[in-house]
Amino acid sequence: MTDTNLISIDAMGGDRGPAAVLDGIALAHAANPALRFLVHGRQAEVAPLIAARGLSDICSLRHAEAVVTMNDKPSQVMRHGSDTSMWSAVDAVRNREAAVAVSCGNTGALMAVSMLRLRKLPGVNRPAIASLWPSFNPGGWNVMLDMGADVRADAHDLLTYGIMGAAYAHYALGLETPRVGLLNVGTEEHKGTAELRLAHELMTGAQARGGFAFVGFVEGNDLPAERVDVIVTDGFTGNVALKTGEGTAKMASRLMKEALTSTWLAKLGALLAMSALKRLKDKIDPRRANGGVFLGLNGTVVKSHGGADATGIAAAIDLAARLARSGFLERMAARVASAAPAGQDAPSEEASNESAK
């Protein structure tokens, strides 16, 4: 049986190199001493980092000669990447050594390797990447998917995203019956494309057996809203929305910083308000929500931000560990299979190619 406390982790391929990954492992282990790690990477580079941090007891190192870079094309990695640390990390999930793999590497390549090695769950045509989005809900987060696994999604894919996103929100956010919304340019039923109107119909009918409550169409300004827990969209729109939100938040933070250093009085004011501003900064720290989860495969893969530091990597590991323990994959798989229309589970060559973003 798979050890749910063992996390398979790709030590290479992140912007900050293997040292940041090992620092993240040390942090995650301090918070949760039961965790152990299968670490994939170059022996000569990674072994000294493990030893230097005194992590030899909790880390098994598996040597992989090659590294997937941010510039490698997913199709190339699929054909020639079997000696990479990313491939090795995913294969540990395939072989049931670990329940979850974590990587900071190239998103497109990680999705391609994950699809190739883990294969899609029955009933899933297009896997998706789910992320957490800061919200005014009591828990502070909404789930949004697809964030960019595939630039397209048809109505059945969107229904599947709703079911998978609801299962993820159930286990990651502890919500009994997550409320699912479909992203559109208006909330009236006649808005948007024919595909979205069909998805609306399918999701209305699938609520009960899909384990969610369907709230209908939502708009971009509902992403942080209290009226929804899971926002479903295609990977093109999701990716643009994610980066637009990040860009806007960064702009707001930069303008605020400029304002609070613009005069002596403002600087003094900022000094007095410092601890309140620090609490706000911690609350919205994007590192706390680090980790896009690949849903729809026979195994769970957590994609950490490429630029994640130790804190971010520890957050991704913590998410991976919670998912591994929850047994959410099996429950999600059962729900997807029960809601799938006939003929949706055949592997599709076209879909595999499209995922290579």
Give residues in contact with a second copy (CB under 8 A). Answer: 73, 134, 136, 148, 151-152, 183, 185-186, 190-193, 219-225, 233, 235-237, 239-253, 255-256, 258-260, 262-263, 265-266, 268-277, 279-280, 283-284, 357
Question: Could you tell me the smallest distance in angstroms from the CB atom of residue 120 to a second copy?
Answer: 21
How far is 158 from 296, CA to CA, in rounded Å? 12
Contacts of 226 (CB under 8 A, 6+ apart): 135, 136, 137
Considering the complex, state which of residue 75 and residue 177 has its C-beta at the smaller distance from a second copy: 75
How far is 206 from 152, CA to CA, in rounded Å? 21
How far is 2 from 341, CA to CA, in rounded Å? 31
Considering the complex, state which of residue 209 and residue 257 has its C-beta at the smaller distance from a second copy: 257
Question: Could you tell me the smallest distance in angstroms from the CB atom of residue 136 to a second copy?
Answer: 7
Considering the complex, state which of residue 17 and residue 220 has its C-beta at the smaller distance from a second copy: 220
Considering the complex, state which of residue 149 and residue 295 has its C-beta at the smaller distance from a second copy: 149
Question: Could you tell me the smallest distance in angstroms from the CB atom of residue 276 to a second copy?
Answer: 4
Q: How far is residue 336 from each of residues 147, 299, 340, measured CA to CA in Å?
A: 19, 14, 6
Question: Could you tell me the smallest distance in angstroms from the CB atom of residue 149 to a second copy?
Answer: 11
Question: Could you tell me the smallest distance in angstroms from the CB atom of residue 127 to a second copy?
Answer: 16
Question: Could you tell me the smallest distance in angstroms from the CB atom of residue 286 to a second copy?
Answer: 12
Considering the complex, state which of residue 51 and residue 255 has its C-beta at the smaller distance from a second copy: 255
How far is 120 from 44, CA to CA, in rounded Å? 35
Tokens 């926002």, residue located: 231
Considering the complex, state which of residue 53 and residue 357 has its C-beta at the smaller distance from a second copy: 357
Considering the complex, state which of residue 44 and residue 221 has its C-beta at the smaller distance from a second copy: 221
Question: Could you tell me the smallest distance in angstroms from the CB atom of residue 70 to a second copy?
Answer: 10
Return the number of other C-beta atoms located less than 10 Å from residue 197's C-beta: 16
Question: Could you tell me the smallest distance in angstroms from the CB atom of residue 98 to a second copy?
Answer: 30
At residue 26, the 3 state secondary structure works out as: helix
Considering the complex, state which of residue 80 and residue 283 has its C-beta at the smaller distance from a second copy: 283
Question: Could you tell me the smallest distance in angstroms from the CB atom of residue 176 to a second copy?
Answer: 25
In this structure, the strands spanning 230-232 and 141-145 are: parallel
Beta bridge partners of 149: none
Considering the complex, state which of residue 80 and residue 96 has its C-beta at the smaller distance from a second copy: 80
As a dihedral over the C-alpha atoms of residue 112, residue 117, residue 123, residue 127, rounded to 10 degrees, the angle is -30
Reported in sequence order, the residue ranges of 199-329 that DSSP labels E, i.e. its strands, are: 213-218, 230-232, 292-295, 300-303
Contacts of 110 (CB under 8 A, 6+ apart): 68, 86, 90, 103, 294, 301, 303
H or E segment and range at residue 60: strand 59-63
Contact between 11 and 21 under an 8 Å Cβ cutoff? The reply is: yes
